[in-house]
Amino acid sequence: MKIFAIGDVVGTKTVAYLKQTLWKKRSELDIDFVIANGENASDIHGICCADAEELLSAGVDMITLGNHSFGRKDICVMLSDSQSIIRPANYPACVPGSGCSILNICGWKILCINVLGTALMDSMACPFATVDRILAREDGGYDVSILDIHAESTSEKIALGRYFDGRINVIFGTHTHVPTADEQILPAGSGYITDVGMSGPVNGIIGADAQAVIERMRTKIPTHFKVADGPVSVHGALFTLNTDTKRVTDVRRITF
């Protein structure tokens, strides 16, 4: 089984680019399942229902979110009604949506989990304990598991990867918008990468207009950020899973 994890999708222009390219890439690489972080898809802050539907029609099977999950309020309806979009599981239980979902793909039940890091980010429930509870609750109900760790701290992501090695098949990080070069197979067989990077404009600063970001850093005056102009590219990681042993046999970064 081949699972493709796509890094933070930034802007509607990138959504349109995925609609042009992703199905072809799925065929070219023989990809079975695509999971993408879409929390910045609606021009940086959040994702609306229309853009979420566009991502799903583009060839994404599961959309995960992050600290901007509720930047666009209309997504609350889709979070409550759809099995193909999840928000971080360690948000308070009262918020709309779920932090995990099981999809049936290629005859396999795939458990997808989304969690927020807590180091250098908003205060949330412990990601370790949150994911532990999900695995215990869903035990026996799935064949393959995937975890998107949306976090600022690389050490926290690595710690979560090591902690769930052998218990979750595919573990990847999002949020920093910069891909890391540490794709690997952990000792107990989980595929891991600290951050799969960003899918968005290549000429900006993590997707935003470079000049606006620079001015804010120089002057400390609040500035409205917009998605950068120019070409876009997609960054992600392709995980190859042996469905007999349930061990990942290959992890490699993909850019197009």
CB burial of residue 43 (10 Å; 0-12, 13-18, 19+)? buried
Catalytic residue among 45, 68, 224, 235: 68
CA distance 134 to 164: 12
Active site residue 68: yes
Amino acid at residue number 150: H
Here the contacts of 28-32 (C-beta below 8 Å, separation 24 or greater) are 29/2, 29/4, 29/238, 29/254, 30/2, 31/2, 31/3, 31/4, 31/238, 32/1, 32/2, 32/3, 32/105, 32/106
Tell me how far apart the alpha carbons of residues 30 and 27 are, in angstroms, rounded to a whole number. Answer: 5
Catalytic residues: 68
